[in-house]
Amino acid sequence: MARDHGFHPVRITRIVDETPDTRTFALDAPFPYRAGQFLTFKVCGTLRSYSMSSSPDTDGELCVTVKRVPGGLVSGWLHTHLRPGDTLEATRPGGSFCLRTDAVERPLVGYAGGSGITPVFSLVKSALATTPRSVSLLTAHQSSGSAIFREALDALAARHPGRLRLHDHLDDRDGLVGAEEIRALADRDADHYICGPEPFMALVESTLTAAGTPAERIFVERFTPAPFKETPADAVPAPSEETSADAVPGTVTVDLRGQRRTVPQRVGETLLQSARRAGFTPPFSCESGDCATCMARLTDGEAKMRVNNALDADEIAEGYVLTCQAEPTTAEVTVIYED
């Protein structure tokens, strides 16, 4: 039986201005969730994920915190249109950027850049409340005016003296975050949780790796999937017309909302990319194999997933794949997106 991938109405109960461009939305959403997970919202037909900034262990309400991206479709809409009492459509929580149950005594180090603080804040609150772990947190923001949760973090540190150490980095005061700052936190015995802009994440990951931190102790959450270009349906070549040098023998047939289209296979292309090339706009969110928003069922042929942090063994046995990660391994593949 596939997981519940449907959308559910959630009501906005409260809106809090955190900084001039960041707002927290408290939701009446009766979902169980784990610290570090996210919800995927459908707004004007577009899917976007937002991590919970609340902790299921310390906060009585479920909250997401959204930074308004200049020119951003959904973040702009949420900021402009939502009022308490309004209803949104959201999936059940997903994601695996969570505390490990086997790590109750291991130190935890968080690295959060900008809006990347949201899931890290949730993790830190849960770790402090449910384990004896010591926690260090590096927060990087452009200026004090954009430091999301500054007062809440100071209050948390005051409630956990000696257990929560905060390292505040402000670009306008300290310049950009440097490797030295990260090396100072690179405890090889700790679990390291990273979320923020791509260059920040790349610097933290590479510095931790160079300092000898094992890969299994580094956890990342990416907010920004790789960009892609939609192919209009009428521009899709028929399989017999395909001339790409990347074409390989075989086809991918995609079934979405009652429409079925077939495109030739291409070297190294995921099923999600094939579906887009077929002119579809299939569901997706993280494009990292973490969220399962893009999951679909293979009814013919086989495919191999590069990364799977979202599907369980039963779902895989039933033929489900993460289309953002699955590449065909047989000549003919048919995949059905089930709404």
Residue number, 65 or 273, with CB nearest to ligand FAD: 65
User: Is residue 248 within a helix (H) or strand (E), and if so which, with residue range?
Assistant: strand 247-256
Residue number, 287 or 327, with CB nearest to ligand FAD: 287
Q: How many CA atoms lie within 13 A of 185 on its CB side?
A: 28
Report in angstroms how near the CB of residue 172 gets to ligand FAD at its nearest: 21
Residues that bind ligand FAD (CB under 6 A): 38, 48-51, 64-67, 69-76, 95, 115, 118, 221, 223, 285-286, 291
Report in angstroms how near the CB of residue 45 gets to ligand FAD at its nearest: 12
Report in angstroms how near the CB of residue 52 gets to ligand FAD at its nearest: 8
Nearest to 185 by CA among 131, 136, 225, 234: 136
Residue 235 class from Cβ within 10 Å (0-12 exposed, 13-18 middle, 19+ buried)?
A: exposed
Which residues have a Cβ under 8 Å from the Cβ of 338 and sit 6 or more positions away? Answer: 2, 5, 296, 297
Name the residue whose CB lies closest to ligand FAD.
72
Report in angstroms how near the CB of residue 310 gets to ligand FAD at its nearest: 11
Residue number, 40 or 253, with CB nearest to ligand FAD: 40
Dihedral, CA atoms, 188, 193, 196, 198, nearest 10 degrees?
Answer: 60
Residue number, 115 or 325, with CB nearest to ligand FAD: 115
Contact in structure between 143 and 114 (CB atoms under 8 Å): no
Report in angstroms how near the CB of residue 233 gets to ligand FAD at its nearest: 19
Specify which residues 19 forms β-bridges with.
22
Residue number, 135 or 292, with CB nearest to ligand FAD: 292
